[in-house]
A and B are shown apart, each in its own frame.
Chain A
Amino acid sequence: MKRGSIEEMGEGSAKKARIEEVEVPVPELGDDLVFEVLKRADATTLAAAACVSRRWRAVTEDERIWEAVCTRQWANFGCGNQQLRSVVLALGGFRQLHSLYLLPLQKTQQHPAMPSSSAAAARRAWMAPARFGKDEGKTRLMRMPLHCDIDQWVTIFNGHDTSTFGVSSPKK
């Protein structure tokens, strides 16, 4: 067979594939096409896709993909898309937003018992109640940079006084 196992194929096609074994293997999808595919994938699949290869990894680092995931999940957030976009990007981006906030919310809804790793425990400590009121959403977005790596923190707030965000510091 030219490629790995394909569940959909019946016995007939498997036989045919053996005859065609000398054929040139299918070329890898270009970055643009991997992008188009992943833009239509859910977050869990994206996380797996990020571990596939360096090229796939690079594609999953595109914020536009995570934006698509986030906006699909909360289609009606109550403020303009552009406005929301600028806020989220300034505060760490859509991937952070999803992994730190949207995913834990989803997980509590599905499985009340949270995973026990320390990272998850830290996230749980920061999890806001599952309500999506407009102002509450904003508050949570503002807390976001507190979870960034120190480098990101410095980049994002370079020249800004963090107290202008008016949120209390996280208790470790």
Chain B
Amino acid sequence: MVGVKKKMVTLVSSDGVEFVVEKRVAEQSLFIKNALNEGGVEEKVMIPIPKVTSDTLSSVLEYCEKHASATEFQENEIEEWDKEYIEKADLDLLYYLLQASYSMSIMGLMELGAKKVASLIRGKSPQEIRELFNIKNDFTPEQEEEIRREMQWNYE
């Protein structure tokens, strides 16, 4: 059952780009791991990754590749690498990485992305958060006033 070493799988992004990667790299994603277990196909496995574009997938796979060989590195080396990896992602990519990590079940990456986004909104006002994420304010003025009162300690 365990694959021969360097067994490869092909991942297909939502925009149709194929990525051939080692199975152990792809299996950093529980979504893919489960798909492989269910499929039981031995040769030339092709797995479509819905909703993840090639740009995002290539960055996701960079993460998976590093973490598939995590045992070869010191723990703090991986931490440093993670930090650098998430720092260099711009806001759009960060957003897509977070979504991809969630849909592909890559818990480490989700943790990393969620922490980064949390740090981006730290200390920001509601309006600044809306602008950052292109969120529409759908409260009525009365509701907003009520919430503002309730959360007053934040504005004091």
Contact = CB atoms under 8 A, between A and B. Distances in A.
Contacts of B142: none
A2 B96 CA distance: 14
B102 A33 contact: yes
Contact of A26 (B125, B134, B136): B134
B98 interface: yes
A26 B151 contact: no
Nearest to A25: B134
Nearest to A10: B90
Nearest to A41: B118
A37 B118 contact: yes
A3 B138 contact: no
Most buried by B among A36, A38, A119: A36
Nearest to B149: A119
Interface stretch (B4-12, B38-46, B109-117): B109-117
B124 to A, nearest CB: 6
Interface residues of A, number: 41
A51 B147 contact: yes
A26 B114 CA distance: 16
Contacts of B92: 2-3, 26
A47 B91 contact: no
B94 to A, nearest CB: 10
A137 to B, nearest CB: 21
Contacts of A53: 130, 135-139
A29 interface: yes
Given A33-B102, A42-B122, 10 more contacts: A2-B92, A3-B131, A5-B131, A29-B98, A37-B121, A45-B121, A50-B147, A52-B126, A99-B153, A103-B153
5 contacts: A6-B132, A26-B134, A39-B114, A50-B151, A51-B144
Interface of A: 2-6, 8-9, 13, 25-30, 32-33, 36-42, 44-45, 47-54, 56-57, 99, 103, 115, 117, 119-120
